[in-house]
Chains A and B, each alone.
Chain A
Amino acid sequence: METFKLTVNCQQKDVTVDPSTPLLWVLREDLKMSGTKYGCGIAACGACTVHVGGVPTRSCVLPISLVGERPVVTIEAMSNDTIGRVVEEAWESEDVVQCGYCQSGQIMSAVALLKATPKPTDKDIEESMGGNLCRCGTYVRIRQAIKAAARQLG
């Protein structure tokens, strides 16, 4: 066990865990932040996406020992983020969500896309969101919501 100092959603957190523990489990089990979901555990679905040092990251495969000093931002902070808030509003207005399980990861990826590419094309959306799976098949509405958010951010 080792103690790691993390910055999660602008707050300092100390956690004492095995260094090989994935960030996802530190968030969910140690910090009791269950907004980030476990889907596959092998980087294949995107449900566990958070931002680490501004990079959209599969938290299920990132050992806590590799986080370093980079700040971690999760779905819980998106309503306080300029782009995150607009994306969440677009998700609501386009009625994107079906069961919801994949959606925190979808939103984290969409926010990362819009931060880098304010006016994404269909191809940009397909390529960037291609790693986020949705068993309910909400892909068409996700695309509409990303475009609506882009228009809103204008």
Chain B
Amino acid sequence: MMRLGPTLLLGVLLLAIVSIGAASREQGDTPDRETTPNRPAGLAAWQKIYSVMSHPRCINCHTASDYPEQGDDRHRHLFNVVRGPDGKGVPALQCATCHRQANADSTGVPGAPDWHLAPLSMRWQDAADRILPSSAVCKTVSDPAKNGGLDGAALIKHHQTELVKWAWKPGLRNDGSARSVPPIDYEEFMVATREWVQAGMPCTK
């Protein structure tokens, strides 16, 4: 009987894992979050994603309240701005009343296409405007019942929208200074997103 060398054995094993993974994805399953072999890498990638999501440029519009926030101190949005039924404000005071398709650097108003608040199901703060811990945000982001029905592929697409990308080019404040940006750059954020999705979107308990 032919003896299989260690390299060949490893190859067969990898092939088996890939086939099982592909079969399970074909059936619409997500990889088992607790047992997936790259769970540690996935968790590490998630922490990078969380460092972005908990940054004011992102979390200011993922509130649990009836209003968005502003600034690095995440204060309540001025001018009596409210969430409204679809997260885009109310008829005479819409997000688009000030926020248009691009940053208005001459007047200090940020802007990007489809400027709006995330739905309440995607809140990453508690009712007292405290940022939720990493595990809680992770569960929300990975739960299609809360994240607007996004699976991993759709989540990657969502992270490629102009509104998400805006966090890395947030323009100038009305005093001419630059708004702060998330702690890792956009490319690193996307690498982390893909790693996390490929690892089955694992979350700590």
Binding site for B on A (CB under 8 A): 20-22, 42-44, 49, 55-58, 60-63, 66, 109-110, 112-113, 115-117, 124, 127-132
Contact = CB atoms under 8 A, between A and B. Distances in A.
Interface residue SS majority, chain B = loop
A113 B89 CA distance: 12
Given A43-B109, A112-B92, A113-B92, A130 B101 contact: no
B106 interface: yes
A128 B79 contact: no
A61 B91 contact: no
B106 A55 contact: no
A61 B109 contact: yes
A66 B100 contact: yes
Contact of A62 (B82, B90, B93, B100): B100
B109 A131 contact: no
Nearest to A24: B107
Contacts of B97: 43, 49, 55-58, 131
A61 B106 CA distance: 8
Nearest to A128: B92
Contacts of B105: 20
Given A66-B101, A130-B82, A61 B107 contact: yes
Interface of B: 78-82, 84, 90-94, 96-98, 100-102, 104-109, 111, 174
Contacts of B94: 55-56
Given A55-B97, A130-B82, A131-B97, A60 B91 contact: no
Contacts of B98: 43, 57-58, 61-62
B174 A42 contact: yes
Contacts of B109: 43, 61-62
B92 A110 contact: yes
B150 to A, nearest CB: 28
Contacts of B90: 113, 124, 127-128
Given A55-B97, A112-B91, A131-B93, A20 B81 contact: no
A102 to B, nearest CB: 14
A21 B107 CA distance: 9
A128 B92 CA distance: 5
Given A20-B106, A62-B100, 19 more contacts: A20-B105, A43-B79, A44-B79, A55-B94, A56-B91, A56-B92, A57-B96, A57-B97, A61-B98, A61-B104, A62-B107, A63-B106, A63-B107, A112-B92, A113-B92, A115-B91, A127-B80, A128-B91, A130-B82
